[in-house]
A and B are shown apart, each in its own frame.
Chain A
């Protein structure tokens, strides 16, 4: 399709509601840096941005600024998105950690996240699956609760380059993988990651290595793939 034919759908695309074939065509034009479509899409993005002016303002909790700041103040380098939970000194989390052979306890630093993790771990509706085996391969356990989210606990995770991150995906029964957060491992190659929120109809959970900042869809072969 020509740029002129696609023009009426720029804003629908910017809103994320365009249907195919227009959606695929615009994506293709943008991928090859079509100047007309890039310019038109920037204008459409401005329209969508302006729509935020109609949103009823809601005051965020004061702790949210601290959360945001806390994740970038840990080190001066690039950081990971998502929520990495330190080892928990609690019975339920300890059971989970022991179950997968991880050792050590670290100071609890994010109580709300820990509570979310425990809520998932302790819910009867939670399904869990172990991955990996003893040895050098990555190993761990994934807990999936359709209404509450995912807890990922891993060890022997591969070392990432400075420009890489792990990204967790929920694979639905139908459609493309859904990105559910970014995380990096600790220096001892372990990670505990919580993604809160509904994950209904999850057929599998996967972890891939992605460029820092994450990807909209997986760009590498899954490092870990489990079916809870």
Chain B
């Protein structure tokens, strides 16, 4: 499968993210445009894939970018990973909106995405290879593992909710999640956390 051009652009421009973060901190409006040009399409795609509502996705994207604009002062240029931070905020907002429709999960908002969690993150995490690697890795998962990863990423379902949805024991679901994550992390060359 060919790699979308957007990821090539992200790889080529990764070294400029530090400068972009600095410009955001200086309240340079053009930096917001550059941020959008760099990550807007991917961010919109992630949100749409979750909420499946184009109008709502536009609102959530706008809010996400403005949250980044307003919180840029807390970011550490040179150490932080701007794109991953933005994408995490976008996904969490989308998941929160999705959960607003499900009374059983409202007590569990998505975790906060403090900039500190993106310090020293591999800035090439969005580079050319990752789409190919992650798609290949997902394709190699068992059907159950793939299902739970999709329910986790796109719907933010907890193992207990997945178990209800799939009609399977919670313990089995937790095992599939951990195994799937382990396989994905191995494929991405990441060690440590599961």
Q: Assess whether B172 is interfacial by the CB under 8 Å rule.
A: no
Q: Report the minimal beta-carbon distance from B2 to chain A, rounded to whole angstroms.
A: 12
Q: Which of A19, A51, A196, A217 contacts B109 (CB 8 A)?
A: A217
Q: Assess whether B168 is interfacial by the CB under 8 Å rule.
A: no
Q: B192 to A45, Cβ gap below 8 A? A: no
Contact with A along B118-135 (1 / 0, CB 8 A): 111110011000111111
Q: Assess whether A158 is interfacial by the CB under 8 Å rule.
A: no
Q: A68 to B65, Cβ gap below 8 A? A: yes
**What's the dominant secondary structure at chain B's contact region?**
helix
| Chain B residues, CB < 8 A from A19 | 158-160
Interface size class of A (residues with CB under 8 A): 35 or more
Residues of A with Cβ closer than 8 Å to B?
7-19, 23, 27, 30, 33, 38-61, 64-65, 67-69, 71-73, 76-83, 112, 116, 165, 170, 172-176, 178-179, 181-182, 195-201, 212-214, 216-217
Q: B130 to A53, Cβ gap below 8 A? A: yes
Q: A198 to B49, Cβ gap below 8 A? A: no
Q: Could you jot down 14 A-B contacts, CB within 8 Å?
A: A9-B194, A17-B156, A43-B193, A45-B117, A47-B190, A50-B188, A54-B153, A55-B42, A79-B66, A172-B103, A174-B103, A182-B66, A200-B100, A216-B109
Q: Which of A16, A76, A170 contacts B111 (CB 8 A)?
A: A16
Residue of A nearest to B53 (CB): A197
| Chain B residues, CB < 8 A from A9 | 194
| Chain B residues, CB < 8 A from A58 | 41, 44-45, 48-49
| Chain A residues, CB < 8 A from B41 | 57-60
Q: Report the minimal beta-carbon distance from A116 to chain B, rounded to whole angstroms.
A: 8
| Chain B residues, CB < 8 A from A199 | 100
Task: For chain B, residues 140 to 170, give those with C-beta under 8 angstroms from any C-beta of chain A.
Answer: 149, 152-153, 156-160
Q: Assess whether B22 is interfacial by the CB under 8 Å rule.
A: no
| Chain A residues, CB < 8 A from B109 | 16, 176, 178-179, 216-217
Q: B58 to A45, Cβ gap below 8 A? A: no
Q: Which of B58, B92, B158, B190 contacts A64 (CB 8 A)?
A: B58
C-alpha spacing A13/B193, complex, angstroms: 11
Contact with A along B24-64 (1 / 0, CB 8 A): 00010100110011001110111011000111111101111
Residue of B nearest to A201 (CB): B103
